[in-house]
Amino acid sequence: MPNRHSLFWRLVVLVAGFCLSMIWASGYVGRQIDRTSSYLSDEALNTLSGYADQARTALQIGPQALAQWLADMRARESSWLVVVDDQLQPLGGQKLSDEERQMLTFVRHYDWPMSRRYEGLPLVSIPLEGTGAQLMMRLPERFRPWRNHALLTAGGVYLPLILLSMLFCWLLYRLLVSPLDRLRQQANALQSNRLDSLLPPSIARRSDELGELGRSLEYLTRRLRDSITQQQQLLRDLSHELRTPLSRLRVACESDLNADEMRRRTDREITSMQQLVDSTLEFAWLDSEQPRFECEPVEVAALWDLLCENACFEAGWPRERIQARVPDDCRVLGNLNALAQAMENILRNAIRYSPAGASICLWAERDGESWRLRIEDQGPGVPEDQLPVIFRPFARLSAARPGGDGFGLGLAIARGMVLMQGGSIWAENSEPGLRMTIQLRSV
């Protein structure tokens, strides 16, 4: 069943309103045309009334005058007519056949509406005032009612229906075709690589299917624009980062290093470039593919112990300098490999920027249906306005946090890994050092 904001209901109102309007308009106008066309015109009424006055004058003069007037009228109008008394007996010496007497029963008063069911010219009666007699005659052809009925019907019924249909099509165009045309223009803009074209507010505010389609297309436009911008930035940063080890290799090749020193220098620079390329490709994969990792219960304490063992071995730190305050029931819903990589990047970053003799600690506390995992170091921290920047690729604040020679991709990859698990991550300054917080759903 369509929801209350669906385009279906607008179409129902529009179509139903159009149909009801057409039915009402055609019925009302048709009745008005029938009513107007069924009556004799003012010219006919005045003419017939004048004939009645003439007949009355002739009747008052005498039967011969009435007979002469009837003869003159038959010659003038070429129409059957007779003057009868209140008993329907002919006056003026006129004789009526049985058929003509039968015709007198179908006479209508001249100012009544005329029926369309009678195919010929109707018989009308015009009273002769003050005499009780009536002039009955077949209506002359020039006074025939319903003469312009077809023309009036075409102009009064069919033309309004055509106008209503045009209005209906215009409303339908405004409702459907016009927004679709705007969406088509935006799609064509994407085809032409014009990624600055966004959805017009008139469509963005809609709550129906077209509004949802427009917002989806706008999201696609923004996503594509951000992705292309991100890729261009990655290429620029990667090119910049590769120049340094390549320059060192060139200097080494031009120097007088012996074979062992040259091999060690080459191995170190190649390893550095390989780590840079691998990290860049991993971040680009997260940004473009946006995978959704399969989540499962993860024991945070056990995972932290494994990460600390590997990190201490690589950095030469004593194990007691990395601590944990994790409850025994701390289990989160996440992807083991993705969470491990995110926490490992944060841990390596903390080790890299920690001063001599400092310690690192993992804290875990429940927050409703989630767990907050806080990794705190004792380094110099980060300026408050730079906290969001550290999650950007190739962002390095060595001036604020000296130490190490990372590429600035670790926290960007960690953020991507956490987001793909349905969690969130943010940074805060502590006293002293930096606190990285990961929030994931509880099991």
pLDDT interval class at 406 (50, 70, 90): low
Triad 177, 180, 182: Cα angle to 5°: 110
Give the CA-trace dihedral at 262, 268, 273, 277, to 10 degrees: 140
278 vs 2, higher pLDDT: 278
CA separation for the pair 121, 81 (Å, rounded): 13
pLDDT interval class at 139 (50, 70, 90): confident
pLDDT of residue 181: 79
Query: How large a percentage of the chain has pLDDT more than 90?
Result: 16
Contacts of 320 (CB under 8 A, 6+ apart): none
Mean pLDDT calculated for residue range 7-31: 79
pLDDT tens by residue, 211-239: 777 777 777 777 777 777 777 777 776 77
Alpha-carbon distances, residue 225 vs 189, 190, 229 (angstroms):
12, 10, 6
Residue 440, helix vs strand vs coil = strand
Domain 40-144 CATH superfamily:
Two-component histidine kinase, sensor domain (3.30.450.170)
Q: Which CATH number, 3.10.290.20, 3.30.565.10, 3.20.20.70, 3.10.20.740, labels domain 293-441?
A: 3.30.565.10
What does DSSP say about strands 108-109 and 81-84: parallel, antiparallel, or unpaired?
Answer: unpaired
CA separation for the pair 147, 116 (Å, rounded): 11
Residue 272 has pLDDT above 80, yes or no: no
299 vs 175, higher pLDDT: 299
- Cite the DSSP H helix spans in 62-134: 63-77, 98-103
In the structure encoding, which two tokens stand for residue 325, read together?
């305050």
